Structure 1
Amino acid sequence: MIDKYKLAIFVDGDFWHGYNWQQRKPKTNTTFWVAKIERNQQRDQFVNEQLQAMGFTVMRFWEHEVKQNLKACVNQVLLYVEAARVAKVPAKE
């Protein structure tokens, strides 16, 4: 979390946070895994809402995005930081 710029950055594991969840739901031990991953998704949403209520911008990247194109992910963060540094990013209401 970058307090100075009110920015929270997360890298979510594809499996653990349910990337493409409808197609990737596990076929074994389904009851356990579906409940586990869906709780993670609910917690992610709750955390996003709490941080946004505190005035933070939340950026979430999927694990595969970072692995496949780290430069693009870092660039997105740097663009935000530069905009916030130069022109004060408006607070979300």
Structure 2
Amino acid sequence: MVPSSPMVSAQMSRLPRRDTGPEVQLRRLLHAQGLRYRVQLPVPDWRRRTIDIAFTRVKVAVFVDGCFWHGCPEHGMVPRSNQAWWASKLEANRRRDAETTAHLQSRGWRVLRFWSHDDVSDMVVAVTRAVRMPATPV
């Protein structure tokens, strides 16, 4: 299957993939808490995938997923035009997210996933707790 038109494909390719408003806001607040992190760190062994915010010393990976591209159950939607292609594309994104999470967890990382519509102060609390609390042995 192919996108509905070259114009739609071009428009979608220009949407931000990183440094979205919620990501930047979360990073600023985490930095203000004294936390230091890496941005867009390649996933270990999977160089074509990246972690939005990575705390490498304590192995905490943070993802801020956009509602459209990651299939939010609350706000996600499949465009009406070329519906089958979009449904397939969005499902593949969800599968890739699950694979990435499982891959990182199998290597000892704690993975936190948030939706871009989540309250950023709640994100800060969860991330700070994960980073500052020692990992529980598996």
Alignment TM-score > 0.5, same fold = yes
Q: Place the TM-score, normalised by the shorter chain, in its bin.
A: 0.7 to 0.9
Give yes or no for the alignment of 1:43 onto 2:93.
Answer: no
Question: Equivalent of 1:80, from 105, 130, 134?
Answer: 130
Secondary structure, aligned partner of 2:124? helix
Secondary structure, aligned partner of 2:117? helix
Specify every segment of 5 or more residues in structure 2 that has no aligned partner in the other structure, as ranges: 1-53
Output the CA distance in 2 between the equivalents of 1:5 and 1:91.
13
Give, in angstroms, the shift of residue 82 of structure 1: 1.7
Percentage identity across aligned positions? 35
Structure with the larger helix share: 1
Normalised by the length of structure 2, the TM-score is: 0.56
Give yes or no for the alignment of 1:57 onto 2:107.
Answer: no
Give, in angstroms, the shift of residue 59 of structure 1: 0.3
> What residue in structure 2 maps to residue 14 of structure 1?
67
Higher relative contact order at CA 8 Å, sep ≥6: structure 1 or structure 2? 1
Output the CA distance in 2 between the equivalents of 1:56 and 1:18.
23
Specify every segment of 5 or more residues in structure 1 that has no aligned partner in the other structure, as ranges: none
CA-based RMSD of the aligned residues comes to 1.6
Question: Equivalent of 1:25, from 56, 64, 78?
Answer: 78
Normalised by the length of structure 1, the TM-score is: 0.82
Contact between 2:55 and 2:131, CA under 8 Å: does it hold in 1?
Answer: no
